[in-house]
Amino acid sequence: MKWGVVSFPGSLDDRDALFALRDVLGQDAISLWHKDETLDGVECVVLPGGFSYGDYLRTGAIARFAPIMQSVARFAADGGLVIGICNGFQILCEAHLLPGALTRNRSLSFVCDWVTLRVDNSKTAFTRAAGDGELLRLPIKHGEGLYVAPEDDLRAMEERGQVILRYVDESGRDSDESNPNGSMHAIAGVANERFNVFGLMPHPEHAVEPMLGGDDGLRLFRSIIESAS
Amino acid sequence: MIFQVKVFVTPKGGILDPQGRAVEHSLKSLGFAQVDGVRVGKFIALNVEAASGAEARQVVTRMCEQLLANTVIEDYRFEVGDG
């Protein structure tokens, strides 16, 4: 499967995403530059983590207008698979390819930790290799991961199953203590209504080998590979 | 004509504002018990060239909607000075 990982000025995790895809999963993954205007025939676009354009104004607000984002928006409108990780999630929200927004963590502190996540919809292209209710361990590292959306929108998203991943404790329950950033409804990852665009704050690309502390990130990448084949 | 514009962006009512809450808490710790409803936002100053004040207001509205504010979570208002 052919993947494209976008690098914006200030992206940090593009190399790790390429490593995960190429070296661990044996995929054909190319690097895409923010000034590129075409996606070179990729089947899935990855918007990686980092601090694109210095996170000036709001996280993802400037990156959203990079030339490549027009192609990404068209690709998504045609049903192409797009996954945004951390800053990539923030960019997708700013671009209105995903609902809601990400704001400053409730604690006002940057959080860097491993979290437990519950898969609340395993029928998507991004989670089909996991089971409903399955728990994943992935790292997070962000200052602005508090997911917000108007309550009415959240209710509709919950009904449609757009909340894919939720922060939970080790027994799989979401509580105030297991919510690392204060996200509404403990949301860690959401999809659009068509389920071809997915954003999440945790980093699957940093959890691809036991040596890195865990390899649950592979579950998400393998889901995408399965759905493309 | 060049118009001087002041844009104010604030978190929408009902949207959690952890910065505002922290500042409010801090003000109260300093003894300002009478303070309430602190919201922390952004102030953006810019100059805009336009034929009239009405045109300037129209352009700035577009700037706010497209980039300066994220209307999912933020409100904006602006003041356009004399040209």
**Predicted local confidence at residue B14, as pLDDT:** 81
> In chain B, what is the greatest distance between 2 CA atoms, to the nearest angstrom?
50
**Predicted local confidence at residue B16, as pLDDT:** 83
Question: What would the pLDDT profile of A88-140 be if each residue is shown by its tens digit?
Answer: 999 999 999 999 999 999 999 999 999 999 999 999 999 999 999 999 999 99
CATH number for B2-80 (one of 2.60.40.730, 3.30.1280.10, 3.40.190.10, 3.30.420.590): it is: 3.30.1280.10
Query: Three-state SS across A131-166?
Result: CCCCEEEEEEEECCCEEECCHHHHHHHHHHCCEEEE
Contacts of B70 in chain A (CB under 8 A): 58, 61, 94, 101
> Poorest-confidence range of A72-76, B16-20, B54-58?
B16-20
**Interface pTM, i.e. ipTM:** 0.87
Question: Which residues, numbered 63 to 92 in chain A, qualify as contacts with chain B under a Cβ-Cβ cut-off of 8 Å?
Answer: 65
Evaluate if residue A70 carries a pLDDT over 90: yes
Tokens found for residue B5: 């514009």
Do residue B18 and residue A94 have CB atoms under 8 angstroms apart?
no
Residues B6-18 have a mean pLDDT of 91
Q: Active-site residue A112, yes or no?
A: no
Residue where the block lists tokens 């990130």: A217
**Predicted local confidence at residue B82, as pLDDT:** 83
Do residue B67 and residue A149 have CB atoms under 8 angstroms apart?
no
Chain A residue nearest residue B44, CA to CA: A57
Evaluate if residue B83 carries a pLDDT over 80: no
What is the DSSP pairing of strand B2-11 with strand B74-80? antiparallel
Model-wide pTM > 0.90: yes
* Set A44, A86, A93, A142: catalytic member: A86
Tell me how many helices (H) and strands (E) chain B has. 2, 3
Question: What would the pLDDT profile of B27-77 be if each residue is shown by its tens digit?
Answer: 999 999 999 999 999 999 999 999 999 999 999 999 999 999 999 999 999
Contacts of A182 in chain B (CB under 8 A): 16, 18
Evaluate if residue A81 carries a pLDDT over 80: yes
Question: What would the pLDDT profile of A19-59 be if each residue is shown by its tens digit?
Answer: 999 999 999 999 999 999 999 999 999 999 999 999 999 99
Evaluate if residue A62 carries a pLDDT over 80: yes
Contacts of A51 (CB under 8 A, 6+ apart): A10, A12, A59, A87
Contacts of A107 in chain B (CB under 8 A): 18
Out of B16, B67, B68, the one facing A146 most closely (by C-beta) is B16
Q: What is the DSSP string of chain A?
A: -EEEEEE-TTB-SHHHHHHIIIIIT--EEEEEETT----TT-SEEEE--B-GGGG-SSTTTTGGGSHHHHHHHHHHHTT-EEEEETHHHHHHHHTTSSSSEEE--TTSS-EEEEEEEEES--SSTTTTTS-TT-EEEEEEEES--EEE--HHHHHHHHHHT-EEEEEE-TTS---STT-SS--GGGEEEEE-TTSSEEEESS-GGG-SBGGGTB-THHHHHHHHHHHH-
Please list the residues that pair with A117 across neighbouring strands. A136, A167
**Predicted local confidence at residue B13, as pLDDT:** 86
The CATH number assigned to the domain with range A2-228 reads 3.40.50.880
Do residue B18 and residue A106 have CB atoms under 8 angstroms apart?
yes
Q: Active-site residue A44, yes or no?
A: no
Write down the domain spans for chain B. 2-80
Q: Active-site residue A159, yes or no?
A: no
Q: What element of type H or E holds B26?
A: helix B18-29
Question: What would the pLDDT profile of A157-193 be if each residue is shown by its tens digit?
Answer: 999 999 999 999 999 999 999 999 999 999 999 999 9
